[in-house]
Amino acid sequence: MNQIDKNQILRMVLILLAIIGVVGVASCFRKKSAVTLDEYARQRGKPYPAASVEAPGSPSDAAPTDAKSNVAGTTDTVHRSETDSQQAAPSDSGSAQSVFPAVPALTGALLNGGNDGQAMLGERLTYRNTSGEAIADFYIEPLSAALQRYITGVSYPVLAGADATPGITPDELRYVHILHYDFEGEVREGELICNQVIAYDLADIFYELYRNGYQLEKVLLVDEYGGDTTASAEDNNTFCFNYQADEDPSALSKHALGLAIDINPYYNPSITYDKQGGMEVSPGSAALYADRSIEFPYKIDENDLCYKLFVKHGFTWGGNWNSAKDYRHFQKSP
């Protein structure tokens, strides 16, 4: 092979390497420019939902079946060890002994069990499963004087006179304590304030969600967010009662009456439409999740276990509304 042939081959090799380099750089640029659902969520400070955790124990006879991504037991399930599942599982052995480890109490639980809340223990209604067995960590109580003081001026209105009528009195509200799985698959305590009319419904629904490994990021009183429902939704907090005063009591929202609940609201936002065809998403940072054609965990639709349980208990779903869509919202008429 002469010197000319060698030079030609060398030039061809160099050109080929240059082409490969250009293609590689372009490919990397495309990958960095593409915004996946995961990246979109992370940029907004919200982790993209992880896989569900296997549910402890056997499914309840009363629980609907064929639930999808929110529920443990799907193809995306992360299986915990048998020991962990046994420790986390609610007891069905007939005792009302707590299965939750010793951790700092939630605000509502602490106030309802404080010095002037001891009477609430005598009025506690412990949830019973379908076999009639008491489940200690799922219970309902009236609001103690301490808890009433805590929510007054936040989720409950400060009355402007002796004749002021809020539409609902503290005596008509109930404190509901639950357990739930968070997004890391850990068992957490949760608490709600609701109308007494739906208190046992909520205890039953959240017990079935817990038994089926359904994940809720947080279940805290909206008072922890200063009564700001948008801040609560941004933090993906599941909550029920929030009066939002200065309205005609005859036209109070279902949340103001303690008859509505928002579930995993960040991934199931509220959408309103204007006459020009535009839409507003709340919370605004969750706009991507307004596209319900996208499949992602924690999405509530008519195949979801949460939807099935609430509908079974007589609730209606905001995702079925016509003039607006509120995918996080379930409500019930008294």
Q: What is the pLDDT of residue 152?
A: 94
Q: Does 258 score more than 70 pLDDT?
A: yes
CA distance linking residue 71 with residue 325, whole number of Å: 23
* Other CB atoms within 10 A of residue 280 CB: 14
Residue 60: inside a domain: yes
Q: What is the mean pLDDT of the chain?
A: 77
Mean pLDDT of 261-286: 92
Global pTM reads 0.72
3-state secondary structure of 131: coil
Q: Does 161 score more than 70 pLDDT?
A: no
CA distance linking residue 244 with residue 156, whole number of Å: 8
Q: Does 137 score more than 60 pLDDT?
A: yes
Residue 17: inside a domain: no
CA distance linking residue 135 with residue 284, whole number of Å: 38
Residue 298: inside a domain: no
Residue 286: inside a domain: no
Q: What is the pLDDT of residue 320?
A: 96
Residues 18-46: pLDDT tens digits?
Answer: 666 544 544 443 333 333 445 544 544 55
Closest C-alpha to 209, from 307, 141, 87: 307
Residue 6: inside a domain: no
CA distance linking residue 120 with residue 135, whole number of Å: 17
Q: What is the pLDDT of residue 175?
A: 97
Q: What is the pLDDT of residue 68?
A: 39
Residue 296: inside a domain: no
Residues 311-333: pLDDT tens digits?
Answer: 999 999 999 999 899 999 999 99
Q: Exposure pattern of 151-176 as b/e (b: 16+ CB <10 Å)? A: beebbbbeeeeeeeebbbebebbbbb
Q: In what side-by-side order are the strands of the sheet with 324-326?
A: 279-282, 270-273, 324-326
pLDDT band at residue 92 using 50, 70 and 90 as cut-offs: very low
Q: Does 72 score more than 90 pLDDT?
A: no
Residue 203: inside a domain: yes
Mean pLDDT of 196-220: 97
Boundaries of domain holding 157: 37-260
Q: Does 188 score more than 90 pLDDT?
A: yes
Domain count, the chain: 1
Residue 270: inside a domain: no
Q: What is the pLDDT of residue 115?
A: 58
CA distance linking residue 331 with residue 222, whole number of Å: 17
CA distance linking residue 24 with residue 30, whole number of Å: 10
- Beta-sheet pairing, 237-238 with 218-219: parallel
